[in-house]
Structure 1
Amino acid sequence: AEASGSRATVYEDHRKLLENKDIDVVIIATPDHWHAAQVIDAANAGKDIYVEKCMTHTIQEAKDLVKAVKVNKVIFQLGHQGRQSEIHKKAKEIVEQGMLGEITLVQTFTNRNRPTGAWQYDIPEDASPKNINWGRFLGKAPWREFDLKRIFRWRCYWDYGTGLSGDLLTHEWDGVNLIMGTGIPHSVVASGGIYYWKDGREVPDVFQVAMEYPDRDVTVTYNATLANSFRRGKLFFGSDATLDLTGGLNVFVDKNSKRYAEKIKSGELRLLNPLLAYQAQSGRKIEEITSATEKWTIDKGLLYTFTPEGRMVNTTMLHLKNFFDCMRSRTPTDCNEDIGFEEAISAHMATQSYLQGRKIVWDKVRKEIV
């Protein structure tokens, strides 16, 4: 704001900001435990809303948030900018055309190996109770003594964050949901632990998740470690071909495919060569991106994409443009509250499975976990 020649008004309480009749839209980038309350207050004030993932901190909050958005008829966008990636759009077309055959397994992952990638963010030297409103940060979270780590590294604690489920799994899950329309899984099993970052955190740094969709005959897996940066695979395994979205898009024919059997036999299709390839980020070296988060996000197509004409564009800007366009047209966004509800429930099912040490099942009639 200062760079543009003006000064932004600072509010200690978001409700005071919402009283301003000149404000039409809010963008919420607060810790997860504040998302629902601020979205609901904004919706009740008639503001259109863009909020970061994970949409909410709990399952009940997800229900309350969706109700508030719909009752107040405001426009809502959840910040899954990967929906603007050309790679995801091409992948959706491939799946819908049946090029892969019957997809029975989808594999996704997150590998990071830097302190910032494990949410060990720098703590300002001058940070203290004198310039931080501790009670306001906590909100409805349980009372604890002032702790700078809990403020600046809040993702490491269940009171404020949603761990790997809400921060990183949701990106992968949303990509799969966009491509296949899988929605909320029937059941989820998750396991893991704190195996490397022994810094007092509560959330796991190794996390394994299996989501079952028996009505779709498919399992979606997510595997994460915050102590290794080797790139594994984002793969869609079909009976006729495999779709590889690991840093690009490649389709490889299965050697035992029935659909492509004749072309394989004739030599028209070579198994070692992709049936189809699409590199939306060609020419952009990952090494040129400096931060650990940016290295991960550009590799996932979460920072940049390329238009069909070859122009590189920022996916977050495209996602915001979609939001603003929908504000004007009063039509649903690309990641509206209904999609956000599916995202939140799927993430919370994984979290609860890990915390409770059991399989979590979603009752889609009662909209509860059992």
Structure 2
Amino acid sequence: MSDSDKSARRSFLKKIGIATAGIFSTPFIFGSRKHPPNAVVLEPGADSNRSQSYSRNDQIQLALIGAGKMGQGNLRVALEHEGVELVAACDLYDSRLNRCRERFGNHVDTTTDYREILTREDVDAVVIATPDHWHNTIAVDALNSGKAVYLEKPMVQHIEEGYGIIEAAEENSQPVIVGSTSTSDIVYRKARELYRNGQIGELNLVESHYDRYSAMGAWQYSIPPGASTDNVDWDMFLKDLPEIPFDPKRFFRWRNYRDYGTGVAGDLFVHLFSGIHLVTGSKGPERIMSTGGLRFWNDGRDVPDMMTGMYDYPETESHPAFNLTLRVNLADGSGGGRMMRFVGSEGEITIAGDQVTLKKARLPDRPGMSIYEFGSEVREEYREYYEEKYGKEQRPTATQTEVVTYKAPEGYSSRYDHFDNFFRAIRNGTKLIQDARFGLRAAAPALASNLSYFQNEMINWDPEAMQLV
């Protein structure tokens, strides 16, 4: 690189420092339903920016830390954006690094030590997709090294770890976006618009589920028969946990174990909280209760495969007090699926698959009468009263119902839009949809659901101060 190129690149790197964290936030959508014939197709999000080009010195140079299925999937979408290049990858399993070179090019430098990536001056941003127990350490180290951070959900494994990420992001003026992509999804943004416009009246209930019915969905990930300490850095994987012999199940199926993961709450509830908070503008619940159990996948895991949660949301400027119920079932014999329903006094908003449906009902003007258990004198007296107040018609008019559905355009990717938000924050200081504060407010009630389950007690949470109480 010439001296002029180096100078230009230093100038670009300074731009990253102006990125500031933003306000909103939400999960990715999977699955689909048949669309009604009159469904309204939503305008695409960032797709219109795909043709924009950037000079060599304005390239965002990425490094991947954690090159498993999610990490490589993130990189595939990230590299669909113009002006983005992968320069390095880190993982603790050699074969994943080989796969990165196969997929993304032999120019990609690889390592098993993430710290080598953070010392590189040619890395502008990192995508962190490691097991949960490494999230906070790598994210803080990356921010303190001057790197922008795309951090997979949940933001942290333990609630208290979130404060360090928020502090590091703000002290270093670096953007952090958490990877629950529904916060960027045009379907969820449409739901937010409908909610804010008062289309369902006063919100009183939200219910949502994220069920699965497959071995992969239950984290039964493939274990290569040749995996050993010859090609896996087991000591690094363990981090500061007690030393134990190499266990390929724990390495490749880490979500099944509390030492490394966060169970169904951290993996899936967090998506639901992200979407709910985006739509309602909420900062979170104040009371958290959960229950569940290990109902089907008896494979040695120490986390439940079924969990339900109940949450009390206080009244705020953004919403009235409402109740939330959540469910994850990894053995849903109906086939699994995902749904989110916002119920108000005048209608409901339902998000399912790649569409959002508004259903509105209007109460009749006349309430009707329930007088037939009364004697004739009282019945006649009430009829006179009723007709004077409502008119002569005794039966209430039928409830009026309106339904309209909005759908994402074919081929739409919320993950693409999520990365677009991240890259704009790096280049221009654009406000992030799911910054570190939003990310912690989505992760904390999910992690508190685990506390409630394992401690068998209700958890109190201050969503404004982001503190257990």
TM bracket (short chain) = 0.7 to 0.9
How far apart in 1 are the matches of 2:107 and 2:364? 62
253 and 30 in structure 1: CA distance in 2 versus 1, 3 angstrom threshold: same
> What one-letter code is carried by the residue in structure 1 that aligns with 2:321?
D
1:217 aligns with 2:345: no
Summarize the alignment of residues 199-210 of structure 1 with structure 2, pairs less than 5 Å apart. 199-210=299-310
3-state SS of paired residue (1:313): coil
How far apart in 2 are the matches of 1:368 and 1:270? 44
3-state SS of paired residue (2:112): coil
> What one-letter code is carried by the residue in structure 2 that aligns with 1:165?
A
Q: Where does structure 2 lack aligned partners over 5 or more consecutive residues? A: 1-100, 366-395
Partner of 2:425: 326
Aligned-residue sequence identity (percent) comes to 34
Residues 110 and 225 in structure 1, CA contact (< 8 A), matched pair in contact too:
yes
Corresponding residue to 1:348 among 430, 436, 447: 447
1:333-353 deviations in Å (ceiling 9; x for gaps):
111111112112121111111
How far apart in 1 are the matches of 2:364 and 2:290? 32
Instruction: State the Cα distance separating 1:233 from its structure 2 match.
Output: 4.3
Instruction: State the Cα distance separating 1:366 from its structure 2 match.
Output: 6.2
3-state SS of paired residue (1:117): coil
Residues 362 and 400 in structure 2, CA contact (< 8 A), matched pair in contact too:
no
3-state SS of paired residue (2:420): helix
1:152 aligns with 2:252: yes
330 and 226 in structure 1: CA distance in 2 versus 1, 3 angstrom threshold: same
1:94-147 deviations in Å (ceiling 9; x for gaps):
100111011111000011111100001010111012211111001123433321
Summarize the alignment of residues 1-370 of structure 1 with structure 2, pairs less than 5 Å apart. 1-2=101-102, 5-215=105-315, 216-228=320-332, 229-231=335-337, 233-247=339-353, 248-254=355-361, 256=363, 270-271=400-401, 274-280=402-408, 306=409, 312-363=411-462, 367-370=466-469
Stretches of 4+ aligned residues off by more than 6 angstroms: none
How far apart in 1 are the matches of 2:339 and 2:436? 30
Residues 33 and 141 in structure 1, CA contact (< 8 A), matched pair in contact too:
no
How far apart in 2 are the matches of 1:168 and 1:212? 19
How far apart in 1 are the matches of 2:214 and 2:174? 39
How far apart in 2 are the matches of 1:217 and 1:350? 20
> What one-letter code is carried by the residue in structure 2 that aligns with 1:331?
T
3-state SS of paired residue (2:412): strand
How far apart in 2 are the matches of 1:5 and 1:200? 38
3-state SS of paired residue (1:353): helix
RMSD: 2.0
Q: Where does structure 1 lack aligned partners over 5 or more consecutive residues? A: 259-264, 281-305
How far apart in 1 are the matches of 2:180 and 2:358? 25
114 and 94 in structure 1: CA distance in 2 versus 1, 3 angstrom threshold: same
Moved more, 213-222 or 54-63: 213-222
Residues 75 and 331 in structure 1, CA contact (< 8 A), matched pair in contact too:
no
Instruction: State the Cα distance separating 1:234 from its structure 2 match.
Output: 2.0
Residues 156 and 203 in structure 1, CA contact (< 8 A), matched pair in contact too:
yes
Larger Rg, first or second structure (1 or 2)? 2
3-state SS of paired residue (1:254): strand
> What one-letter code is carried by the residue in structure 1 that aligns with 2:246?
F
3-state SS of paired residue (2:189): helix
How far apart in 1 are the matches of 2:291 and 2:260? 21
How far apart in 2 are the matches of 1:230 and 1:39? 33
199 and 175 in structure 1: CA distance in 2 versus 1, 3 angstrom threshold: same
Instruction: State the Cα distance separating 1:313 from its structure 2 match.
Output: 2.7
138 and 66 in structure 1: CA distance in 2 versus 1, 3 angstrom threshold: same
Normalising by structure 1, we get a TM-score of 0.85
Instruction: State the Cα distance separating 1:266 from its structure 2 match.
Output: 7.8
Instruction: State the Cα distance separating 1:202 from its structure 2 match.
Output: 0.9
Residues 142 and 159 in structure 1, CA contact (< 8 A), matched pair in contact too:
no
Moved more, 123-132 or 246-255: 246-255
Residues 210 and 328 in structure 2, CA contact (< 8 A), matched pair in contact too:
yes
How far apart in 2 are the matches of 1:246 and 1:13? 40
1:207-234 deviations in Å (ceiling 9; x for gaps):
0011111223111111111111254742
344 and 142 in structure 1: CA distance in 2 versus 1, 3 angstrom threshold: farther
> What one-letter code is carried by the residue in structure 2 that aligns with 1:226?
L
The count of corresponding residues between Structure 1 and Structure 2 is 332
315 and 71 in structure 1: CA distance in 2 versus 1, 3 angstrom threshold: same
Residues 2 and 8 in structure 1, CA contact (< 8 A), matched pair in contact too:
no
